[in-house]
Amino acid sequence: MPGFVLFCLLSAFLTSGNSLVCEVCKSKEASCSGTLQTCEDSEHVCSTMVAEYRIGGIMFTRSFKECMETSPICDFIPFSMTFRPSIAMRTTFNCCSTDGCNSVQPELPEVSRTPNGFECPSCFALGASRCGYMDTLQCSGNEDHCFEITGTLMIGNFNFTKSSAGCGTAGTCSKKVGSHRYSKNVVDVLTKVKCSPALQAGSTRTEL
């Protein structure tokens, strides 16, 4: 019996010693730093997310570093998206699986307002399950893909449905229909995702 008890104690010690350790923090800036914390047994990834939103003349940024279960966002490519000339976002993600590996701060995609000769259908509608009307948006910089995305964004206890379309970088096409957990308190449930290379301005597009 004593041998069995010793075996159990050793097993518990070794199991706890194998838990992943990640930097954990959140900020309203483009970077954050925090303490190293031991993850839960079900959490196998150290994640970092940085997102910047521009709505009219207002700019706000959020950054998170956390322990997370493996998430589809780990396969995302950093991207920027423009819905209207005055509404845009850019974001970057990083996932790794060694102790403290998310201490490195990822860079947001560069943004350029120089027209690139492409155009896309454009809309941004809150509380709507589809875009009722599309404008034409002149694309700029590295945003040479057209997207149309509908879903519900859940931030803590606050949920809102949104439909959007516009110009995006190639990384926008890494979004897929389904649930995407950007952080423990931010989940995007996408019900429609279309993404394709943009056409030259003036070309005829029958469908995205």
Q: What is the pLDDT of residues 15-27, one digit of tens each?
A: 445 689 999 999 9
Q: Residue 110's pLDDT is what?
A: 86
Q: Which of 20-29, 52-61, 70-79 has the lowest mean pLDDT?
A: 70-79
Q: Residue 120's pLDDT is what?
A: 97
* pLDDT of 30 above 70: yes
9, part of any domain? no
| Count of domains observed in the chain | 1
Average pLDDT over residues 64-93: 88
Q: Residue 153's pLDDT is what?
A: 87
Distance CA 75, CA 179 (A): 13
5, part of any domain? no
4, part of any domain? no
14, part of any domain? no
pLDDT-above-90 percentage for the chain: 53
Q: Which of 11-15, 32-36, 41-45, 76-80 has the lowest mean pLDDT?
A: 11-15
Whole-model pTM: value is 0.81
153, part of any domain? yes
Beta pairing partners, 193 = 149
Provide the residue type at 102 as one letter. N
Specify whether the CB–CB gap between 52 and 31 falls below 8 A.
Answer: no
* pLDDT of 5 above 50: no
Residue of 32 and 157 predicted with greater confidence = 32
Give the CA-trace dihedral at 87, 92, 93, 96, to 10 degrees: -170
Task: Note down the domain range covering 30.
Answer: 20-200
Q: Residue 205's pLDDT is what?
A: 56
Distance CA 127, CA 130 (A): 9
Confidence of residue 89 (pLDDT cuts 50, 70, 90): very high
7, part of any domain? no
* pLDDT of 2 above 60: no
Q: Residue 133's pLDDT is what?
A: 85
Residue of 153 and 145 predicted with greater confidence = 145
Q: Residue 8's pLDDT is what?
A: 44
Q: How many helices (H) and strands (E) does the chain have?
A: 1, 13
